Amino acid sequence: MRDDRIEPQWIDAFESVLRLCAAQPGETVCLLSESQSRRLNIDLAELAAHRLGCRPFRLEVPTPRQTAPVPVRSTGASRALAGHPSVLAALGASSLILDLTREGLLHAPELRGILASGARVLMVSDEHPDVLERLVPRAEDAAPVKAAVKRLRGAREMRVTSAVGTDLTVAMAGATTAGVWGFTDRPGTIAHWPGGVVVSFPAAGSVAGTLVLAPGDANLTFKRYIEQPVRLTLRDDHVVAVEGEGVDARLMRDYLAAWGDPGAYAVSHVGWGMNRRARREGLLFHDKRDLNGTELRAAAGNFLFSTGANEFAGRFTEGHFDIPVFGCTIALDGEVVVREGALVA
C-alpha cells in the first residue's frame, strides 16, 4: 500500500470544513480515532485545527475484536467506544468532536449521550483525502437539504418507481427524517463529510413493493457495482425475496442469511442524494481500503436504500446494506422530487 505524504491542499480541505463547523481560536477539538483509523486524516485534522488556533487533542481507542459471523463494513455504527466511561467523559467535555473512527458514530449507541452534552460532531468518512478534497462542503449546500427535509417530514407517502421494474411504497407516518449537508455548527448535532443526503427511517410496517437493482447501481457494503439485475421483494418492511441469476444476487442472499437475524432483512432508511459534485463512478478510482463509498450515497438523484438497524422501528442489528439506486423516480404524495435519477428543482 502506498504511503501518502501530507499535501497542503488536504490541510486546506480540513480547514475549510472546520470553519464551516464554526471552530474558534482556543476551542477544544477532540480528534476521536481508533487504532486502525486512517493516520493521514488524523494528522490533517490536527494541522488544520492548529491553523485556526484551536486546541486539538487526540483520543484513540483500540479497534474492537470482530464478533460478527461475516465481515462488517459501512455501518455508521462504530463499536470502538464500548461505553468506556473515561472516553465518554472526555467527549462530553469537548465542544467539537471530529469523528475519525472506521465506522463512525452516526448510529453508535453512545451518540445520544455525547450530543446531549452539547458537543457538535463531524463524522469524517473513512475516505482517502483525495475524495474529501473533491467534496468539501459549501455554505450554500445546507439550504436545499433543509428544504428536502421539510418536504419529507410533511409527506404521507413516498413512492419509488423505475423503468427496470421498481415500484416501492413507503408510508411516511411516524418516520424520522434527517438531512446532512456536510458540516454542523450547532451544539448537540452531528453531520458527516462528504454530505448532501436526506433520509427517513420509516416506522414499523411502512415499506412494501419491489426494488430492482440494475447494472451500475452500487452495493456499498461490498464496495462493488451491480453487474446483473437483482430483484428485491419487500413486505412489512422486510426483504422476503432476493431474485437474480448473477453473482450479485447470490452474494446478497448469502450475506443476509449468514446473520441468522431477521433484522438484517429489514429496512433501515430510505432517501436520496443531493450533492451535485459527488460522482456515481467514484468507486472506480481508489482501492477498496481507501474508500467508504459515502460519495455515492450523496450523489445527486440516487435513491438511497438501506437495510439493517432502525432504532425508530425498534430493530437493532449489525447486518447492513447501503445501496444507491440510480435512474429512479421518487414522488412525495404524487409530487416528483427526483425524475429518472435527476433532481427536480
pLDDT for 78 equals: 87
CA-angle at 29, arms to 34 and 38, nearest 5°: 30
Fill in the DSSP letter of residue 135: T
Q: What is the pLDDT of residues 127-142, one digit of tens each?
A: 999 999 999 999 999 9
Integer angstrom CA distances of residue 133 from 120, 128, 172, 280 = 22, 9, 35, 16
Per cent of the chain over pLDDT 70 is: 99
Integer angstrom CA distances of residue 289 from 24, 45, 77, 116, 319 = 33, 20, 18, 33, 20
Cα dihedral 303, 273, 199, 70 sign? positive
Average pLDDT, stretch 189-196? Answer: 97
pLDDT for 4 equals: 84
SS3 content of the chain, % helix, strand, coil (to 5): 25, 30, 40
Q: What is the pLDDT of residues 59-89, one digit of tens each?
A: 999 999 988 888 888 787 889 899 999 999 9
Q: What is the pLDDT of residues 170-182, one digit of tens each?
A: 999 999 999 999 9
Average pLDDT, stretch 183-209? Answer: 96
Q: What is the pLDDT of residues 286-341, one digit of tens each?
A: 999 899 999 999 999 999 999 998 888 888 888 899 999 999 999 999 999 999 99
Per cent of the chain over pLDDT 90 is: 88
For residue 229, what is the enclosing H or E element?
Answer: none
Cβ distance 81 to 88 under 8 Å?
yes
pLDDT for 3 equals: 66
Cβ distance 145 to 298 under 8 Å?
no
pLDDT for 89 equals: 95
Confidence of residue 1 (pLDDT cuts 50, 70, 90): very low
What's the whole-model pTM score? 0.93
Model confidence at 2: pLDDT above 70: no
Residue with the bigger pLDDT between 1 and 13: it is 13
C-alpha cell at 305: 436504500
